[in-house]
Amino acid sequence: MCANIEMMMRINWKNRETDRGGEMNLQVEQVDKDLVHKFKIIGEIDIYTAPKLKEHLAKLEQAEGMEVELDLSEVNYMDSTGLGVFVGFYKEIKAHNAKLVIKGLNQRLYRLFEITGLNEIMEIEQIEGGEDDASV
C-alpha cells in the first residue's frame, strides 16, 4: 500500500437466507494507512454473514509489523461462527508477527470474549461507557 494514500472501501452484503425472517446486513469499512489497517464492522455477524467477513479479512495481505484494528462498536450481534472468524484471523496475524486489536466491544460481546478465554490472548477493548447492551 502506498504511503499516505488512504483507501476506503465500503461493502454492503445483504443476505435474505435467514431463519429469523429479517434481512441480515453486514457492512465493512476499511481504512488502510501504511502498515495500519482499520476495519469497522457494522451489523450482525452470524452464520450467514460470517463467511463474507472472513472473505473480506482474508483479502488483506499479511506483512510483518502490520497492525490491524477491528472496530466492533456497531456490531449488535455475534454468534460463535463470528467468533470463529476472529479466532482464524488471530492465528494468521500471530503467524505473521503482526498485531491485532479488537475494540469497541459492547458488554455482551466483551462477555463473549471473556467466557471463551479469548480476552487472555487477544488485545480487546470494551466500548467506552460500555454498559449499554445493544444486542436486544
Partner 1 sequence: MPQETGKQYKQMLKSFLRTQGEEDLYLGQQFSRNFIEKKIAPEDVISLHKTSIEELIEDLPPEVSISFDFLIEMMIHYGLALKEHQSLIRKQEAIQMEMDIAVRMQNTLLQTATPEVQGLDIGWISKPAKQMNGDYVYFLNETSSQVCLAVADIIGKGMSAAMHMSMVKFGMDSLRYEKRSPSEVLSFINKMIEKSISDSMFVSMFYGKYDTDTATFRYASAGHEPALFYCAAEKEFKLLESKGLLLGVQEEAKYEERTVKLEVNDFVVIMTDGVSETRTENGFIEMDFIENLLCQVKSENAQAMVDYLFNELSRMQDYQLHDDFTLVILKKTK
| Site for partner 1, rule CB under 8 A | 19-20, 54, 79-81, 83-85, 87-92, 115-118, 120-121, 135-136
- Closest to partner 1 by CB, 1 vs 87, is 87
CB of 42 closer than 8 Å to CB of 26 = yes
- Closest to partner 1 by CB, 103 vs 111, is 111
Min. distance of Cβ 49 from partner 1 in angstroms?
14
- Closest to partner 1 by CB, 65 vs 88, is 88
- Closest to partner 1 by CB, 23 vs 34, is 23
Distance CA(38)–CA(29), nearest Å, equals: 8
Distance CA(110)–CA(118), nearest Å, equals: 10
Residue listed under C-alpha cell 466483551: 110
Min. distance of Cβ 42 from partner 1 in angstroms?
19
C-alpha cell, 52? 463474507
Min. distance of Cβ 106 from partner 1 in angstroms?
13
Distance CA(58)–CA(120), nearest Å, equals: 24
Min. distance of Cβ 44 from partner 1 in angstroms?
11
- 12 has which bridge partners? 27
* Non-local CB neighbours of 50 within 8 Å, separated by 6+ positions: 81, 82, 84, 85
Min. distance of Cβ 118 from partner 1 in angstroms?
7
- Closest to partner 1 by CB, 39 vs 89, is 89
